[in-house]
Structure 1
Amino acid sequence: MRSTTRILPILLALFAAALLSPVRAGADVAIDDTTSHRLDELVAMRVGAAGANKGQLLDLLSKQFLGTPYAADTLIGSATQPEQLVVDFRQVDCFTLLDNVEALTRTTDRNQFTANLIDTRYAGDQVDFAHRKHFFTDWAQVANVAATDITGSLSPAAVTVHKQLNAKGDGSVYLPGIPVVDRDITYIPSGAVDDNVVRGLQTGDFVGAYADAPGLDVTHVGIIVSTPNGPVFRNASSLAANNQVVDTPLGEYLQMVPGIVVLRPR
């Protein structure tokens, strides 16, 4: 019989490695200490805001991410690499900011968060690259639907363009392993976002910056928050002057993009 004094350290090392190693699709997620602590705080905040509506919850919870560093390509998975469920509040990109906050609005017990995040980020609750909601309008088109596309109802100047999402102009694709998706994308040109459009926006609306390029619906996303000084676009900004989650005045942001796509959370 082997000595337990020799086996025990090995078992402990394997256990620790399992906790620290990346999580494969379908497995429980391992969360770093900083994210774990923040998750507890945010769930407690969500529980304390039981009377708030969806927009108020999105404002309250997203506000807690202001100043969080921006990091690109935070999700793990591809056509050749197994998808891993990433939960990381220490850094976010524009899409994971929305993923995290949307999932938190529906979380009143810490144990619910992972399931809510999977429900938000993936189609049919399947944690794999092919089922990840890669495009902003997937939130309004692909199960499980998280929002309704209200862009066309906000302005008579709204434009609808037929796109083949994921297909580049040269015939290649942005994301190998993901099919090309035929979809009509409706957007409001930035110059047509007048006072009537602004009055139609609500705190908590998800806004995407329309992409002129073929194969894409938007290039950036964020959340509308109404303030006494007008609406702001809360977003994880990669701009060198920001490089973190910030509130950008909507009028200022519109000067940098060709138009907007607006999804209203359910």
Structure 2
Amino acid sequence: MKKLSCLKENIFILALILIIIPGNIIAQVKTEFLLEDRIVFDDYIEYIKPWKSNSKDLIMEKTALFFLGKPYVAHTLDQNVVEQLTVNFREFDCFTFVETVIALSMTALEEEPTIEAYADNLKSIRYRDKVILGYHSRLHYTIDWIYENSKNGIMKDITSEIGGVKDNKIINFMSEHRTSYNQLTDDDTTLNEIIKVETKINDRGGFYYLPKDKIAKSDSLIPHMSVVGFTTSLEGLDVTHVSFAFRKDRELKFIHASSVLNEIVIDKQLLSNYCNSRSSCTGIIIAKVL
């Protein structure tokens, strides 16, 4: 679940048109871009040109490496009163880093790679049905994010194919901990929408994860630059951190926005060791970007 992902890699972590519908306000907000973000985007487009004819995995790798050293900042998507698309190339939490790399890689392959095209790709990854209808329309839980992006042909969950097992735990962390979310604390309507989302997730009948004791044995089956979600034993929650699998010197590591090191890094630990060193980490989910 994205809002709890990245918080110290443990747990705990204007409107142009307003359309009022029963019990809620939906904003259709034009995306604005800061000059600093436009500059970074233009720099990236120049940087990625030499690799545009290469494989998708290499483009994603080079895109991720472009942001090495950028600062980790939590809650970058929760600064606005009204839900709107946030474009930020200057600072990241673990999930916005993953989303940014995927959306930029998609944009780099377009005939006209504009920042507006990037924003459209980002919206298609971050929001259910590619539409912003309020806080609840953002894909908060990682397994829901993978499910929706798999439907849209952006990625594929391959966890079961490489030895994953079923987890039937009930997902309800957000509704059970509403006071941890500013948008839910005093808003019963939005809370009810989140409960509906959780119900749909649970109706799918669980999710697959690769147990921590199997990661090292299966690491050759985990694709370079696939999305890795670290599953958790915390009740009601699916994932606490996300990253990209990263093969370096024949070892399977991972590149991520680290709240421990406060920047984007290729972690020194093997992916399997990272999970094994955390008592709450039960394993991983793997999604290949298509």
8 Å contact kept, 1:25–1:85: no
1:229-252 deviations in Å (ceiling 9; x for gaps) = 41221111111xx11111113243
Is 1:192 the counterpart of 2:192 in the alignment? no
Q: Which runs of 4+ in 1 moved over 4 A?
A: 170-175
Is 1:152 the counterpart of 2:160 in the alignment? yes
Following the alignment from structure 2 to structure 1, what is the Cα–Cα distance between the partners of residues 27 and 253? 36
TM-score normalised by the chain length of structure 1: 0.80
8 Å contact kept, 1:123–1:144: no
1:104-137 deviations in Å (ceiling 9; x for gaps) = 0111311311111111111112123221111112
8 Å contact kept, 1:76–1:84: no
Is 1:211 the counterpart of 2:217 in the alignment? no
8 Å contact kept, 1:237–1:244: yes
User: For 1:164, what is the secondary structure of its paired residue?
Assistant: coil
* Alignment correspondent of 1:202: 223
Alignment of 1:91-106 (within 5 A): 91-106=91-106
- Unpaired runs of 5+ in structure 1? 1-17, 19-23
Larger CA deviation: 32-41 vs 115-124: 32-41
Which one has a larger percent helix, Structure 1 or Structure 2? 2
* Alignment correspondent of 1:48: 50
TM-score normalised by the chain length of structure 2: 0.74
Following the alignment from structure 2 to structure 1, what is the Cα–Cα distance between the partners of residues 57 and 172? 31
Following the alignment from structure 2 to structure 1, what is the Cα–Cα distance between the partners of residues 208 and 219? 17
* Alignment correspondent of 2:127: 122
1:157-215 deviations in Å (ceiling 9; x for gaps) = x32111332347x95557642122304121112121133x1110111100011011122
Amino acid at match of 2:284: I
Is 1:264 the counterpart of 2:288 in the alignment? yes
Following the alignment from structure 1 to structure 2, what is the Cα–Cα distance between the partners of residues 31 and 45? 20
User: For 1:44, what is the secondary structure of its paired residue?
Assistant: helix
Percent sequence identity is 27
User: For 2:83, what is the secondary structure of its paired residue?
Assistant: coil
Is 1:237 the counterpart of 2:258 in the alignment? yes
Which has the greater radius of gyration? 1
Amino acid at match of 1:86: T
Is 1:89 the counterpart of 2:86 in the alignment? no
Following the alignment from structure 2 to structure 1, what is the Cα–Cα distance between the partners of residues 176 and 160? 29
* Alignment correspondent of 1:226: 247
Higher relative CO (CA 8 A, sep ≥ 6), structure 1 or 2?
A: 2
Following the alignment from structure 2 to structure 1, what is the Cα–Cα distance between the partners of residues 213 and 207? 18
* Alignment correspondent of 1:6: none
Following the alignment from structure 1 to structure 2, what is the Cα–Cα distance between the partners of residues 36 and 137? 31
* Alignment correspondent of 2:39: 37
Following the alignment from structure 1 to structure 2, what is the Cα–Cα distance between the partners of residues 229 and 150? 21
CA RMSD of aligned residues (A): 2.4
Amino acid at match of 1:136: T
Task: Kindly state the Cα deviation for residue 145 of structure 1 after the two structures are TM-superposed.
Answer: 4.9
Number of aligned pairs?
237
Amino acid at match of 1:91: E
Task: Kindly state the Cα deviation for residue 139 of structure 1 after the two structures are TM-superposed.
Answer: 3.1
Structure 1 pair 166–146 and aligned structure 2 pair: CA distance change class (3 A): farther
* Alignment correspondent of 2:65: 63
